[in-house]
Structure 1
Amino acid sequence: MTNTRILRRQIANGVFSVFCTLVTGVALIALAAILWSLLKQGLGGLNLDVFIKSTPAPGSDGGLANAIVGSILMCVLAMVMALVIGVLAGTWLAEYAGASRYGSVVRFLNDVLLSAPSILVGLFVYEILVAPFRGFSGFAGAVALALIAIPVITRTTEDVMKLQSVTLREAGVALGAPFSFVVRKIMWRAARSGMMTGGLLAFARISGETAPLLFTALNNQFFSLDLRHPTANLPVVIFNFALSAYDDWRRLAWAGALLIAATVLGVTVLARALAKEPSRS
């Protein structure tokens, strides 16, 4: 009886292991196919013009310079807003809220925002920053991206702060320092690498978002640094060019997709490297 039970468990374990291996293989094959398509199609469209010329009319020479700069401006502005709000909110949840009812409500709402469809965020920002002012703008696009990044940073900051040793807090308070000083000078420094990882992951999350920008920043065929008006950005340019009937536009769309994929991959690798950094606390 015992041998039969052991054999049954071994068979079940073997079947489960084979199933997991097969599923992992399918996922890796799909990922490899996507990367191969990006490299095959995107490298053919990459050249110097992509980085120095603005988006062209059909049949004309051009590049993605205005879209690249617009995306960088909006993502940087979004990350500035998201880091300030997300780090402070995560710190409050970890150090001050505790198990209070208000803190539980904030955590629940943050979790809801984490899984909220980005198109709903874009529609919300459209209603408060685009429709009332009767115009699309890069600033509205940055706000939409910030709303997507804030929950990621908040959750990461809270988790990283909670992982820090209680003795760090006790040591600072025992020296007579105000708790706000302990948080700023001791806890934030101890959790710095984890918080940076959360920021990088949030940046990777928003860098390829298209739906919110369709409702907020829209697009601009010309080079502009003024975020008060419609602003060119890579995701929307890729969306428009990929659906066009012009081969030159589709080549630029593949090149833009490769640039975004390379950026996200690089940021993710950097975030993983920072996450593995040993704690100095």
Structure 2
Amino acid sequence: MSHAPTTLQERPTPAPAVATTSLSSRTLPRWAPLGFAAVAIVLGVGLGLVAGWHSRIQWGLLSALFFVAISYTVTTAVENKRQAKDRLATSVVWVCFVLAVVPLASLTWTTLSRGAKVVDGYFLTHSMAGVLGTEPGGGVYHALVGTLEQVGIATAISAPIGLLTAVYLVEYGKGALARAVTFFVDVMTGIPSIVAGLFILSIMLMAELKPSGLMGSLALTILMIPVVVRSTEEMLKLVPNELREASLALGIPKWRTILKVVLPTAIGGITTGVMLAIARIAGETAPIMLLVFGSQLINTNPFEGAQSSLPFYIWEQYKIGSEASYDRAWGAALVLIAFVMILNLVARGIARWKAPKTGR
């Protein structure tokens, strides 16, 4: 019995894959934007010097234009137009970010460098009583006390009103009344501070009231309420409706659902909105000039007598025009920035503490 010979057919071995390099795939390296930025800075500064421009702002604008142009041109030549458009959009975003950060960093550095010369324990614990404006010395204690009291009273009045108004608009508001409230809140958001001061001043004149920190707080309240309402309203709208529906399905009343579910969920954003409103009114000067009048002495009673505040103190010292008064003005500006920063840190801590706990 014979058997036919079998032949083994060998399968062809696949060719090894060739590794593509960044040059063969025509892809720019990750450090390309940094290189573009370095070249753009050199070209911007060089062209500015050749043209006789001595302003660093002009150098920076030229460098920004060169950065965008170089990024788009090189990416088009090396990669393709689609990647070049993406790189162009990214470059514009980075340029806008730098343009926004540079003035802020410059302002912060200038305030720190000039205000740190006078800010010490004596400056924070003494007033301007008995100190001439052109002479060195004196402090900011009376203005700091006035700011804390006036902002505190305004916050105590406007925060509950703004919160309850936002709850009404989101949870209950329907029909003409809700639309009217929303319209007036939007209008009040753009009211200049001097108008709020004039409104309270007219009430003072009709009621024959004297200037005090309370009058200034009432004007600040008018400015603060719409900011609190608008920010709180947006935060409440972000709370998922499923949470409300689940709570109501368990038979919990709506008011308790709002108190125990909706508000704790949005407490972080609500607190941030209140802090933004406080930061806005903390720097207002016009209502204080009209309603509080300012004072060189320490007045811890906001319901009687003239008071000062940090913005009013800064304007007052800058108006004097001496070297010592300029230093005191920058010192007060540094104290005001620190005041707002501390408030924001406290707000973040409260929001993190009160935020609902997430499961695993």
TM-score, length of structure 1 as denominator length: 0.87
Residue of structure 2 equivalent to 1:31: 104
Q: 2:163 aligns with which of 87, 100, 104?
A: 87
| 1:41 maps to 2:117 | no
CA RMSD in angstroms comes to: 2.7
SS in 1 for 2:186: helix
Q: Partner of 1:61 in structure 2?
A: 137
CA 1:8–1:117: 2 relative to 1, 3 Å = farther
Distance of aligned partners of 1:24 and 1:166 in 2 relative to their CA distance in 1, 3 Å threshold: closer
Aligned length: 277
Greater fraction of residues in helix: 1
> Is 2:148 the partner of 1:75?
no
The structural deviation recorded for 1:134 is 5.1
By how many angstroms is 1:95 displaced? 0.5
Is the contact made by 1:197 and 1:274 (CA closer than 8 Å) also made in structure 2?
Answer: no
User: Is the CA contact 2:264–2:356 (under 8 Å) kept in the aligned structure 1?
Assistant: no
Query: Counterpart of 1:122 in 2: which secondary structure?
Result: helix
Contact map agreement 1:138 1:231 (CA 8 A) in 2: yes
Structure scoring higher RCO (CA < 8 A, sep ≥ 6) equals 1
Q: Kindly tell me: are residues 27 and 182 of structure 1, through their superposed partners in 2, closer, same or farther at Cα, counting changes over 3 Å? A: closer
- 2: distance between equivalents of 1:218 and 1:106? 33
Could you tell me which amino acid in structure 2 is paired with residue 27 of structure 1? A
After superposition, the Cα gap between the structure-2 partners of 1:7 and 1:170, relative to the gap in structure 1 and judged at 3 Å, is same
Partner of 1:126: 201
- How many angstroms apart in 2 are the aligned matches of 1:270 and 1:202? 15
Say yes or no: does 1:181 pair with 2:256: yes
Residues 37-68 of structure 1, C-alpha deviations (whole Å, 9 max, x = no match): 10111000112111111123332631011110
Please give the secondary structure, in 2, of the residue aligned with 1:188.
helix
Provide the C-alpha distance between the structure 1 equivalents of 2:205 and 2:282, rounded to a whole number of angstroms. 21
Aligned to 2:15: none
Residue 103 (structure 1) aligns with: 178
1:193-212 aligned at under 5 Å gives the runs 193-212=268-287
In the alignment, structure 2 segments of 5+ residues that lack a partner are 1-75
2:330 corresponds in structure 1 to: 254
C-alpha distance 20-219 of structure 1, shift in aligned 2 (>3 A): same
1:146 equivalenced with 2:221 (yes/no): yes
Structure 1 pair 131/251, CA: closer, same or farther in 2 (3 Å)?
farther
SS at match of 2:116: helix
Q: Is the 8 A contact 1:82 1:150 kept in 2?
A: yes
Given the alignment of the two structures, is residue 114 of structure 1 paired with residue 189 of structure 2, yes or no?
yes
Aligned to 1:240: 316
**TM-score, structure 2 normalization:** 0.69
Q: Deviations over 1:112-155 (max 9, x none)?
A: 22222222222222222356425322101111111111111111
| Percent of matched pairs sharing the same residue | 29
* Matching residue of 1:190: 265
The CA distance in 1 between the partners of 2:282 and 2:307, in whole Å, is: 15
Q: C-alpha separation between the residues in 2 aligned to 1:7 and 1:102?
A: 57
Runs of 5+ in structure 1 lacking a partner?
A: none
Cα contact 2:194–2:286 (8 A) shared by 1: yes
User: Aligned partners of 2:114 and 2:258: how far apart in 1?
Assistant: 49
